Amino acid sequence: MTGALPAVSVTGLASVGELGREAWDAIAVGRRALPFLHWGFLSALEESGSLGRRAGWVTTHLVARAPGRPGERGGSLGLAPAFVKAHSMGEFVYDWAWAEAAERMGTRYYPKFVLAAPFSPVSGERLLVAPGVAPEAADGVRRALLVGAVEAARAMGCSGVHLLFCTEAELRIAQELGFTHRLGCQFHWDNAGYADFEAFLARFDSKRRNQIRRERRRVSEQGVTVTSLVGDAVTDELTGPAFDFYEATIARFAWGRRYLNRTFFELLWQRMRPYLQLMVACRGDTIVGGSLNLESLPAGTPGATRFGRYWGALDEVDSLHFEVCAYAAIEDCIKRGVIGFEAGAGGEEHKLGRGFMPHRTHSAHLLFEPRLHAAIADFCGREAAHIESTIATTQVFVR
């Protein structure tokens, strides 16, 4: 397509099924979008009931189209997975205090309009532009999608629009439209071209290296071995144990919430298997725990980024969490040429001591109530200063 963009129309979809896998993934997979935005992942969430009105995630995905002849739809220029939310769960950009502030102001916070990868605190494009759109026209499509989100949110009676874990390019467009920036921080592992796990350990002082080796020995001394499986090796028989890992972790913590169900895992196996990577911990022939990850490219492809999602233990094994979610996973990333490993939100102190470094994340927020928007903008500014100070301190600490 040329760089000239005529008027772009933006419409909503009640499900990814309305557009179909081929048309959706022509954009999502064509742009190497996060696996969490592929048709297979989103359709598994929708069809399993993990998304929907009862779950408080009403789907209203946005599609940007070029004008067509009268009575015809033009070709799709871009997509934006979008939801009307009745709560703030499953987003990982924590805003419950904002909802309380809205209530004190005498205004409502829910429903709200959210552009996000559901249940996935992973940064990446949220305003997906079709690969055939010329680079100089791409920002016009992104802007049209975001303007469409604002218009849809107002029409649906939402309190505002939230663009979660977006890119810096998307953030810039959002700020031009009056959104305020919220800075966040996660801890990720970056592959510095390590030859093997011992080369990775060399970055630590001797005390920390010995501690890591002791933690790894504890797992093996309990008769547990950990294996990495990718793609077709992640067989149907492993669907049940993977769901059990997830459910066991939810049950273990008072704050845990079961967003997903067994049907979702079964559909994920059918539709996203090439992108799945599973760390499986066994004592003899018995599976005792593991972690489910997805990768940005078909799993096992050098140059991919790995995203840690769900882990759990079905038996008590000392240090198993660190082994399957950090050490064995990092060792496997090095072997396979994976360039980065994002192990999810939270656990900063534990991650820092195991080689995960701070990375900035970005979200953008537009509240239609001017007083609430001003208060949130002030809060985000003060919060960002604190986060930047923490990142600077952390970077000095780990040198």
**Percentage of the chain exceeding pLDDT 90:** 87
- Range of the structural domain that residue 204 is part of: 192-338
Per-residue model confidence (pLDDT) at position 395: 62
Give the residue-averaged pLDDT of 226-230.
97
Give the residue-averaged pLDDT of 62-86.
82
| 23-32, 114-123, 228-237, 389-398, range with the lowest pLDDT | 389-398
> In terms of residues, how long is the chain?
399
Per-residue model confidence (pLDDT) at position 73: 53
Per-residue model confidence (pLDDT) at position 84: 98
CB of 223 within 8 A of CB of 363? no
Per-residue model confidence (pLDDT) at position 33: 94
Same-domain check for residues 77 and 32: yes
**For residue 1, pLDDT beyond 90:** no
Answer whether residue 105 is part of any domain. yes
Q: What angle do CA 210, 212, 218 make, to 5 degrees?
A: 100
Answer whether residue 28 is part of any domain. yes
* Three-state SS at 258: coil
Give φ, ψ of 170 to 5 degrees: -70, -35
Q: 2 falls in which pLDDT band (50, 70, 90)?
A: very low
Per-residue model confidence (pLDDT) at position 90: 94
CB of 321 within 8 A of CB of 313? yes
Whole-number average pLDDT of the chain: 93
Q: What angle do CA 234, 235, 237 make, to 5 degrees?
A: 125
Q: What is the pLDDT of residues 243-278, one digit of tens each?
A: 999 999 988 876 667 899 999 999 999 999 999 999
Per-residue model confidence (pLDDT) at position 327: 97
Q: How far apart are CA 306 and CA 291, in angstroms?
A: 12
Same-domain check for residues 176 and 200: no
Same-domain check for residues 173 and 206: no
Give the residue-averaged pLDDT of 36-61.
97
Give φ, ψ of 176 to 5 degrees: -65, -25
Q: What is the pLDDT of residues 134-168, one digit of tens each?
A: 999 999 999 999 999 999 999 999 999 999 999 99
Answer whether residue 377 is part of any domain. yes
Judge residue 56's burial from the number of C-beta atoms within 10 Å of its C-beta, 0-12 exposed, 13-18 middle, 19 or more buried. Answer: middle
| CATH code of 54's domain | 3.40.630.30
Same-domain check for residues 202 and 307: yes
Residues 6+ apart with CB under 8 A from 20: 39
**For residue 74, pLDDT beyond 80:** no
Per-residue model confidence (pLDDT) at position 254: 61
Give the residue-averaged pLDDT of 316-322.
95
Number of domains in the chain: 2
Per-residue model confidence (pLDDT) at position 69: 44
Single pTM value for the model: 0.94
Answer whether residue 347 is part of any domain. no
- What is the biggest distance separating any 2 CA atoms in the chain, rounded to whole angstroms? 72
Q: 399 falls in which pLDDT band (50, 70, 90)?
A: very low
Helix axes 239-252, 262-272, angle to 10 degrees: 140
Answer whether residue 355 is part of any domain. no
Same-domain check for residues 236 and 298: yes
Same-domain check for residues 18 and 164: yes
Q: 79 falls in which pLDDT band (50, 70, 90)?
A: very high
Per-residue model confidence (pLDDT) at position 5: 55
Q: What is the pLDDT of residues 5-17, one digit of tens each?
A: 557 999 999 999 9
Same-domain check for residues 322 and 385: no
Same-domain check for residues 169 and 228: no
Answer whether residue 352 is part of any domain. no
Per-residue model confidence (pLDDT) at position 251: 85
| 56-70, 263-277, 294-308, 317-331, range with the lowest pLDDT | 56-70
Q: How far apart are CA 193 and CA 176, in angstroms?
A: 38
Within 107-169, strands assigned E span 112-115, 128-129, 160-163
